[in-house]
């Protein structure tokens, strides 16, 4: 726990450094794209030749999102150093090309935890602990130490949630103090706010944004610039009105319009001179123009794509794209880079299980049998697992390209054990603790852990690849670092039998003799990874496994078209080992 004097020392060090802070808050409602905006600012600044790093302050009281349902808070993004973080860090890494760490993800829970642990250790010398200065100082300390540690020219800070949320007030107070501590040449506060269009009135309404800025003023903040989130262009009259009512100079009011594809936002913001205006705000002597030619080329690839492939995402968490956002982005980016469009068909795993004996009337089964490729992503607990196993069986028997991610590899092993080794009760001990054939079991170092949160196998581990396999052909190297988030592993007691049945273990973490990648022999592409390759895929640098998967999907699709064949139709077989 830093004392007030130590925070003052950090402030002085930062004041003497060249680092500039750009803070982004959000107004009116959530889900308006703060993470995309701050990543866009990172793209423009990095494209202009500046060094950039990003962090996010999340107001929720969880220490991290690792124990939250993906349907509540979206995907849990894992950094290389093993932090379970908000999905926005995935946007930052993918779009800006950064490799962030656990210090880029700060929650209110972490702040309060640090303060309370300090109180129990007697670090406050009998003082009455208060929100100001003690709690706010911890937030300030985290940001200042981050800036000094990373030694970059620009630190971009997103404050999660919406202005007016009770949980976020500590962070707004920290920004207010930092603007006072560091001065205007170090901190720029940008506010992203929704400007809705009312179709029944046929006009844009600026009042929600005015009220949002009023909330900021109550917290002692007047934003330096406004980013207006809208579906259609906002006329000059409304811009003038917002400039007057919100006390923001007109040249610092920008429009963030809905675009398709999303990456056009970089070009739109560049066209409005956002990068140059940020540099001008900080008084930089030379205004640099951003080089975002790679993004222009990528957008051209999307526009020139003609053929559409279909990929089935066999999902447990249905109803929102957020639980699988990195997977979805990796699929789309891989297809775009190969000049294909892709239709991602979400297939509810539970419905595959429920409708197994009534497939002709099942939308889930019709979708599964119509797609060109199948991806089974990660997940926890038993819900939907039997449906995922059925999807594996379909992909293996009909030779449909398949990519399994984490749990997607484990269900591939379970299905192979049941079908190829005739171990009808084969399962994971996560789903059936008493199974006679635990082909997937708890990792040895996990067996005595009873708490939840940040204690799985997390972060990057080395994977050694076996030559002449799909994995080695995809990576074109002998070893790779990949990110993990799991407790269970392939039981090595079944390794030899599975290999004899046609399973190839093409990636191994040799230090612990853990299976990292498995493949089905004599299949166009049926590969499962224990790790999460989606976390290291970006639009301009797609992950090798996703790229190879899409290449095979396209190749198999083209073969069928040339031969005049339709999609394969499932030859129904009685399955006796469904664990309904």
> What separation in angstroms does the CA of 164 have from each of 28, 130, 170, 220?
9, 21, 11, 13
State both tokens at 24.
């982004």
Most distant CA pair in the chain, distance: 81
58, 106 Cβ separation under 8 angstroms: yes
**Strand ranges for 92-131 from DSSP E:** 105-107
Q: Using alpha carbons, select from 349, 346, 330 the residue that is nearest to residue 338.
A: 330
Active site residue 532: yes
DSSP H or E segment with residue 215: helix 207-218
Find out whether 164 and 215 touch, Cβ atoms under 8 Å.
yes
Give burial (CB, 10 Å; 0-12/13-18/19+) of 166: exposed
| Exposure letters 449-478 (e unless 16+ CB within 10 A, then b) | eeeeeeebbbbbbebbbeeebbbbebbeee
Q: Out of 225, 246, 392, 406, pick the active-site residue.
A: 406
Please indicate whether residue 579 is annotated as part of the active site. Answer: no
Q: Are the C-beta atoms of residues 324 and 315 closer than 8 Å to each other?
A: yes
SS3 342: strand
Residue of 519, 534, 556, 557 with catalytic role:
534
Query: Residue 447 and residue 35: Cα distance in Å, rounded?
Result: 37
C-alpha to C-alpha distance for 98 and 537, rounded to whole angstroms:
12
Give the length of the chain.
580
Q: What are 254's two structure tokens?
A: 């920008």
> Which structure tokens are listed for 354?
């429920």
Q: Are 548 and 473 in contact (CB under 8 A)?
A: yes
Structure tokens at 145: 């130490």
Does residue 310 sit in helix, strand or coil?
A: strand
Q: Any catalytic annotation for residue 534?
A: yes
* Residue among 150, 484, 486, 532 flagged as catalytic: 532
23-58 burial, b if ≥16 CB within 10 A, otherwise e? bbbbbbeeebbbbbbbbbbbbbbbbbebebbbbbbb
List residues with catalytic annotation.
406, 532, 534
């Amino acid at each position: 726990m830093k004392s007030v004097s130590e925070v003052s020392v950090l402030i002085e060090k930062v004041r003497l450094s060249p680092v500039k802070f750009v803070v982004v808050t959000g107004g009116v409602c959530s889900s308006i794209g703060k993470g995309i905006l701050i990543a866009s600012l990172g793209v423009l600044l990095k494209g202009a030749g500046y060094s950039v790093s990003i962090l996010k302050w999340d107001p929720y009281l969880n220490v991290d999102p690792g124990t939250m349902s993906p349907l509540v808070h979206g995907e849990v993004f894992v950094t290389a150093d093993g932090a379970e973080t908000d999905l926005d860090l995935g946007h930052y890494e993918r779009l800006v090309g950064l490799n962030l760490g656990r210090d880029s993800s700060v929650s209110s829970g972490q702040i309060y935890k640090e303060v309370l642990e300090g109180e129990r250790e007697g670090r406050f010398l009998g003082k009455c602990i208060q929100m100001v200065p003690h709690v706010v100082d911890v937030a300030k300390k985290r940001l200042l130490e981050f800036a000094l540690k990373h030694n970059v020219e620009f630190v971009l800070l997103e404050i999660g949630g919406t202005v007016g949320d009770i949980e976020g007030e500590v962070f707004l107070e920290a920004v207010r103090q930092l603007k006072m501590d560091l001065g205007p040449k170090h901190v720029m506060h940008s506010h992203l706010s929704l400007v809705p269009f009312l179709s029944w009135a046929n006009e844009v309404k600026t009042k929600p944004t005015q009220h949002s800025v009023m909330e900021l003023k109550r917290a002692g903040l007047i934003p330096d610039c406004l980013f207006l989130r809208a579906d259609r262009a906002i006329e000059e009259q409304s811009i003038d009105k917002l400039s007057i009512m919100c006390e923001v100079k007109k040249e610092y009011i920008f429009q963030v319009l809905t675009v398709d594809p999303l990456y056009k936002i970089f070009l739109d913001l560049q066209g409005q001179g956002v990068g140059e205006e940020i540099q001008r705000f900080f008084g930089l002597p030379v205004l640099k123009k951003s080089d975002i030619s790679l993004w222009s080329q990528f957008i051209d690839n999307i526009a020139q794509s003609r053929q559409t492939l279909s990929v089935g995402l066999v999902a447990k968490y249905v109803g929102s794209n957020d639980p699988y956002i990195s997977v979805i982005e990796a699929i789309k980016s891989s297809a775009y880079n190969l000049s294909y469009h892709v239709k991602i068909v979400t297939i509810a795993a539970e419905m595959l299980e429920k409708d197994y004996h009534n497939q002709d009337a099942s939308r889930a089964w019709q979708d599964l049998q119509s797609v060109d490729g199948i991806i089974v992503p990660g997940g926890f607990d038993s819900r939907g697992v039997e449906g995922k196993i059925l999807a594996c069986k379909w992909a293996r028997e009909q030779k449909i390209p398949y990519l399994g991610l984490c749990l997607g590899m484990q269900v591939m092993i379970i299905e192979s054990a049941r079908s190829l080794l005739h171990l009808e009760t084969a399962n994971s001990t996560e789903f059936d603790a008493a199974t006679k054939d635990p082909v997937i079991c708890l990792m040895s170092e996990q067996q005595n852990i009873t708490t939840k949160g940040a204690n799985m196998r997390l972060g990057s581990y080395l994977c050694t690849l076996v030559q002449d396999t799909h994995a080695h052909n995809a990576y074109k190297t002998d070893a790779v670092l990949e990110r993990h988030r799991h407790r269970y592993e392939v039981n090595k007691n079944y390794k030899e039998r599975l290999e004899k049945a046609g399973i190839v273990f093409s990636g191994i973490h040799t230090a612990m003799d853990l299976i990292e990648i498995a493949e089905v022999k004599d299949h166009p592409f049926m590969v499962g990874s224990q790790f999460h390759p989606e976390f290291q895929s970006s639009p301009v640098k797609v992950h090798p496994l996703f790229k190879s998967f899409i290449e095979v999907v396209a190749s198999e699709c083209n073969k069928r078209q040339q031969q005049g064949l339709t999609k394969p139709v499932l030859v129904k077989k009685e399955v006796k080992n469904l664990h309904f």
